[in-house]
Amino acid sequence: MSDVVTTVLFEHPLNEKMRTWLRIEFLLQQMHTNTQITSISSALIFFRTASDLLDVLERGEVRTDLLKELERQQQKLSQWEDVPGVDASRIDSLRGDLKQTAAVLMKAPRIGQALREDRLMALVRQRLSIPGGCCSFDLPTLHIWLHLSQTQRDNDVQGWLVTLDPLHHALTLVLGLIRQSGVFRNQISLNGFFQENAGGADLLRMRITLENQLYPQVSGHKTRYAIRFLPLDSERGQVPARLTFELACC
């Protein structure tokens, strides 16, 4: 019998910048997972996700915030250079990646502009808010596009995704470094409640065993946060008086 304990990883942003980045990451992951469009159903998944991404990008200075974070990460790495025993080659490699990523992001056209200007993308976006608005009689352009060869559709999708590569690469690098900055430690919640100082953190990461079917409800900001654990079954589920879970403050 296996002794492996199944855990679920939850992440919670502690500021608006991180909230936006996690949403963009979530949407980019969906777009890259659904690249092969073979039917109207898969087409609508892709186009709706792309439309959501453009909506998120229009709400803030994503490029500016990412460039600031790339610079901040370079400064953090510089502080490690004189630490005894540190892998200097690894530090140099990461700094080089950060500089190159920042240069590409800075030179790139406005993020998402190519998708906004694409005629098919624009037509589909206009109809997405209408219930059933993407029927063949409403969107004959999409209907005929779906009858093109699979190769041509694949090329179109890859062309759209390529325009997002500077954003995708910068975000993946930044979020990877932020996640690696926090170490998971065992914590105990009493009667389903836990609170602690955040110390200027951007992100909380929690590993919770699936056994009790609990999920965290987080409130707080960069200085202090509180976590309340709630049962998936709100009527019959129970929260242990003492719950051990893993927490990383990043």
Distances from the Cα of 141 to the Cα of 121, 124, 215, angstroms: 10, 9, 43
Q: What percent of the chain has pLDDT over 70?
A: 97
Cα gap 156→142, rounded to integer Å: 13
Tokens, residue 245: 């879970």
Reported as a single tens digit per residue, the pLDDT across 35-82 is 999 999 999 999 999 999 999 999 879 999 999 999 999 998 887 777
Reported as a single tens digit per residue, the pLDDT across 204-237 is 999 999 998 999 999 987 789 999 999 999 889 8
Q: What is the pTM of this model?
A: 0.93
Phi-psi region at 242: left, alpha or beta (left = phi > 0; alpha = psi -120 to 50): beta
**Domains assigned to the chain:** 35-181 (1.10.3900.10), 185-249 (2.60.440.10)
Which of these, 227, 232, 226, 228, lies nearest to 214 by C-alpha position? 232
> What is the residue whose two structure tokens read 């090329």?
155
Say if residues 6 and 210 touch (Cβ distance below 8 Å): yes
| pLDDT at residue 86 tops 80 | no
